[in-house]
Structure formats: structure tokens, C-alpha cells
Amino acid sequence: MNGKRFFWLVALSILWLSCTPLAAQSGSTTPDGRFLRWDKNKDNRLSRDELPLAIRGNFDRVDADRSGWISVEEHSKFLNRNAGSSDGLPAKTKTQKNLAYVDQGHERHRLDLYLPQSKSPPSRLPLIIWVHGGGWKNGSKDRFAHLNSLLKRGFAVASINYRLSHHATFPAQIHDCKAAVRFLRKNAQRFGLDPEKFGVWGSSAGGHLVALLGTSGEVSELEGTLGNLDVSSRVQAVCDWYGPTDLLRMNQQAGSKGKLDHDAANSPESLLVGAPIQDAPQKTAKINPIQYVTSDDPPFLIMHGDQDRLVPPQQSQMLNDALKAAGVSTTFILVKGAGHGLNSQRDRQQPVDFFASQFLDPEKTNE
């Protein structure tokens, strides 16, 4: 059996890589012929269903930021994954994998912790916690495309798993995220972290969860009962990449341009709630981070593509407006031409600069 498994893994990789145009082999982020053929709806990204059946098993490996689709850049990186060392961690990075943040908890109650090493490290490191996307039903902590950028800037980084919607419905997901924050704060001295400098960053469903972390600090019904309840779950900065907020209004805002019926019984939103969202408006409303906004919320950076056909950009606009009305420091960047994903170097750098402005000595924010 092991021999057969190895054979099929090799065969799948060959199928993906075979006949790859020269542009892809050279590391270009211009769509190659294979990407263009697979991109049936011509939205410049690949869903799992658009891939040939034989290689759909590779989808999660290629979807590095767990957004639920494959960008041109992710496609190119996968094709060139053995061509260079850009995916390697900075030298002397200390890595602790699969730390259990809940004692005897679910298999998803795990996180990976990365600690940068430098010649003159601070006594306590600021921490950025990554929360993956995937429609609350897919995704993993195992790949985080922005890890190196944060490590090189001097941040410790944690990437967390949480229970998916087929494991448990809401509020299990936010209970898990808060438990992970409490675990890291409880063990801040052990890991060399600054417990007063915790930032969170997430995309899509992860963007929703980090926004909720930011606005619901110590809201009792969202805290849960998973470990270290004597420690605060508050965070000190939030970067929300195109996360949903008011699920009940998504169809209305998307209009005819929307790619998904968010009200359907099998939509990611309904699976999260455990019922069609329009049939359970009270429970669905509790998922909305806007419901919990108060003046003591941490600073936010919100980024959203103006051509997003999965999560309408109005979702982020509403959150930004609510934060601003409450007097919270917030910046909303509507990225022109971007869909449900932010792939330019500038877009990727802005969150790193945002966290640096919040947590690092201004004299040390430039490498």
C-alpha cells in the first residue's frame, strides 16, 4: 500500500507540472496556459471544483493562505516550490509545532509558534496570531504565506487551528480563537512574549474571526469555557482581510454579481450557524462583530478588494463605519481591482507595517 500511495503522489505532481509553460517555470505571476484553461469563469483564481479531478487532492497544498481559492501567485509558487529558498524560515527561527492550547481538547485545538532570533532581541516579543480562512469549513494552520515577513520584522508568530463547521457550529470557532489567545498570554513568559502586544490577522473567514476577537474582548457569551479563564482574551491590534460581518445582508449587497447564495442551506454561512441564516436571524446576528463594537476596541486595519464577488466589500465598510463612530482607530483600504484575495507585494506589506506601527519602537521598524 505504501508503494501505491507513493506512486500516486508522484503521478499527481507530474500531472500538475507536466507541459508547464516557460512563464510558469521562470516564476512569473502571469497566468500560464494551464491556469487559464482551468479558470472556467475567468475570475483569475481557481476554485477546488475548477481543478481536474485527478489533482484536487493538491488543492490545500497550493492554497497557501487558506483563502478557499488558488491565486495566480500561489499557482506559480507551487510550480516553482523546489526552485529556490524563499519558502525557508529566517535563520535561527525557533519553531514549536502542534502546541495544544486546550488540555485534552479537540484535534483542532493546536497552534504553531515561531520565534525569531536576533543579535539583540527585546526582552519580550510582540506576537501576531494568524487565523486562517476557508469558509469556516476548510483550512489549516500549516501554511501561512506572510510568516517570513513578520519574522524578519521581529515579530513572534502563532498560526492556529480552530474547529470547523462540520466539527461544531458557532460560537465554537470564536471560543477556540479566544482559548488560543489566553493560552499564549498565560504562557507569555515561557515563550518570551509581550502579553500586552498581541495582534491578530486573518483572511476571509479568518478575517471575520479576528474582527470578532477585536470587538468582543471579554464578552462573556463568546468567551467559552476552554482553559485559562483567568487570563484576558483581548488583543491589541487587528488586521481584517476581507472578512464577512453582517451575514444576513450579504446576498442583498452582492446582488447579481455575487458568486454564492449566502442564504442557501448549504452555504458556508448557514453551515456555520447550523441552519439557513435567514431562518435563524437572532443566532446569525450574534456572529456579527459590529454588534460588539465599543470605544475601547483596539486599532483596526481593514482591507478588501473592490471586485470581491464572494464577500461584498460593503461588509468591511460597515465594520469600519461602526468602529469610526465609536471612536476606535481604524483604517479601511478598498483595493482597486482586487477580488477575494490580496496578492500584490504592497497589499501584503501593509499589515506588517501596521503591526510595526503599533508594537515596535519607531526607530526599529525599518530593516
DSSP 298: P
Closest to 108 in 3D by CA, of 163, 60, 180, 159: 163
Whole-structure pTM value: 0.77
Burial (CB count <10 Å: 0-12, 13-18, 19+), residue 161: buried
Domains: count for the chain: 2
Q: How far apart are alpha carbons 85 and 82 in whole angstroms?
A: 8
Residues 248 and 102 in one domain: yes
Is residue 258 located within the same domain as residue 360? yes
Residue 46 CA, chain-centre distance (Å), reads: 18
The whole-number pLDDT of residue 84 equals 31
**pLDDT tens by residue, 126-145:** 999 999 999 999 999 987 88
Please check whether residues 68 and 111 belong to one and the same domain.
no
**Closest of 108, 86, 90 to residue 99, by C-alpha:** 108
**Which of 79, 114, 131 is the C-terminal boundary of a domain?**
79
Per the rule left: phi > 0, alpha: psi between -120 and 50, beta: everything else, 358 is alpha
In the chain, which residues have pLDDT < 70? 1-30, 54, 57, 79-87, 118-122, 361-367
Residue 84 forms part of a structural domain:
no
- Residue 89 maps to a domain: no
75 & 174 share domain:
no
**Residue among 13, 12, 30 nearest 21 (CA):** 30
Q: Are residues 10 and 152 in the same domain?
A: no
Q: Which of 20, 52, 79 is the last residue of a domain?
A: 79
Indicate which CATH number applies to the domain containing 23: 1.10.238
130 shares its domain with 232: yes
Domain boundary among 51, 79, 107: 79
pLDDT in tens, 273-283: 999 999 999 99
If asked whether residues 219 and 283 sit together in one domain, one would say yes
Do 241 and 102 fall within a single domain? Answer: yes
Residue 135 inside a domain? The answer is yes
pLDDT of residue 122: 58
What is the layout of strands, in order, in the sheet containing 94-100?
A: 94-100, 110-115, 156-160, 125-131, 193-203, 237-241, 300-305, 330-335
Looking from the CA of 238 toward its CB, the CA atoms found within 13 Å total 33
CA angle 165, 44, 40 (to 5 degrees): 85
Residue 124's domain comprises: 94-364
| Burial (0-12, 13-18, 19+ Cβ within 10 Å), 193 | buried
Flag whether 87 is in a domain.
no
Whole-number pLDDT of residue 86: 33
- The verdict on 155 and 75 lying in the same domain is no
Indicate which CATH number applies to the domain containing 346.
3.40.50.1820
CA distance 290 to 284: 12
- pLDDT value of position 34: 76
Q: Phi-psi category of 202—alpha, beta or left, where left has phi over 0 and alpha has psi -120 to 50?
A: beta
Closest CA to 287 of 367, 219, 189: 219
Kindly state whether residues 182 and 285 are assigned to the same domain: yes
CA dihedral 301, 278, 164, 112 (to 10 degrees): 10
Give pLDDT, residue 191. 95
Q: Residue 168 domain-assigned?
A: yes
d(CA 313, CA 349): 20
Same domain? 188 vs 318: yes
- Tell me if 88 is assigned to some domain: no
List the grid coordinates of 278.
Answer: 435567514
User: Under a CB-based contact definition with an 8 Å cutoff, are residues 155 and 355 in contact?
Assistant: yes
CB-based contacts of 345, cutoff 8 Å, min separation 6: none
The verdict on residue 85 lying in a domain is no
> Do 71 and 111 have their domain in common?
no
- Is residue 154, in this structure, part of any structural domain at all? yes
